[in-house]
Amino acid sequence: MLANSIVVLDFETTGLSPAQGERAIEIGAVKLESGIVTDRFQALMNPGRRINSFIENYTGISNRMLAVASPCAKVMTDFASFIGESNLLAHNASFDARFLEAEFARLGRQVLGEFTCSLLISRRIYQDAPNHKLGTLINYKNIAADGSFHRALFDAEMTAELWLIMLNDISERYGLENIPFSLIKQLAKTPKAQINKLLTNYASKITKAV
C-alpha cells in the first residue's frame, strides 16, 4: 500500500509564528516504512524563555519541565539525524514546516525532504467529516486514542494512524495497490471537484500499464 518511507512529525511550540519569534518546545515523530512504524523520536526542548499559561494548559508542558530539557539546538540537531532526507508529513504541514525550517535555519541547516499534509488530503477524501481537526478525524475514523492530544509524539502517532487509514481508503475506493508520494503531492493541491477524476485516471493508467 505505502511503498516509500515517510516521517510523520508534530511540534508543540510557544505560539503560532516563528516569524514573530515563537520557538519549538517539543518535537515528536514516527518513521513509517511500508506502512509500519519502525522508529520514534520525542524530546522536549528548552526555548530559553518562559512559556505562557495558555501554552502550559494547552499542551500540559510546564515551565518546570522545560527548565530541565535540552536546548533547542541540541534536540534539533538530533532530530536532523533522525529524519535525514526522508519525506515528511504533518497535520496542517505548513505550520510544522515553518517551525522546522526556522529551527533548522538557526543551526545553518536546511530541510532536505519534501512535506505533505494530512489536513489537505483529509479535506479531499473525507468531505463529510464534521471538521478536519486531528482529534475529530481520529474519532471520525474510529481510531483508538489512548493518550493526550497536544503532546507531540501522541499527535504524530495519531497522524500516522490516520494517514495509513486515508491511504487504505484511497486504495480501496480507487483500486490502487500502491500510492506513490508523487501522487499524494498532486492530490494535496488538486481542487476537490477534480479529485475523483485525478484518482480514477491514475488508477486507469496503472491498470493499463499492468
Partner DNA sequence: TGCCAGGCCCTCTTTAGGGCCTT
Which residues lie near DNA (CB under 7 A)? Answer: 10-13, 15-17, 19-20, 52-55, 57-59, 91-92, 94-95, 98, 119-120, 123-124, 131-135, 150, 155, 188-189, 191-192
Q: How far apart are CA 162 and CA 118, in angstroms?
A: 8
CA-atom Rg of the chain in angstroms: 18
Minimum CB distance to DNA smaller for 92 or for 168: 92
Minimum CB distance to DNA smaller for 94 or for 204: 94
Q: How far apart are CA 115 and CA 146, in angstroms?
A: 27
Residue 83: CB minimum distance to DNA, A? 18
Residue 208: CB minimum distance to DNA, A? 29
Residue 95: CB minimum distance to DNA, A? 4
Minimum CB distance to DNA smaller for 57 or for 62: 57
Minimum CB distance to DNA smaller for 48 or for 175: 48
Minimum CB distance to DNA smaller for 108 or for 191: 191
Residue 122: CB minimum distance to DNA, A? 8
Concatenated DSSP letters of 141-206: TT----S-TTSHHHHHHHHHHHHHHHHHHHHHHHT-S---HHHHHHHHTS-GGGHHHHHHHHHHHH
Closest CA to 171 of 3, 33, 27: 3
Residue 103: CB minimum distance to DNA, A? 13
Q: How far apart are CA 122 and CA 207, in angstroms?
A: 25
User: 81: which residues sit within 8 A by CB, 6+ positions away?
Assistant: none
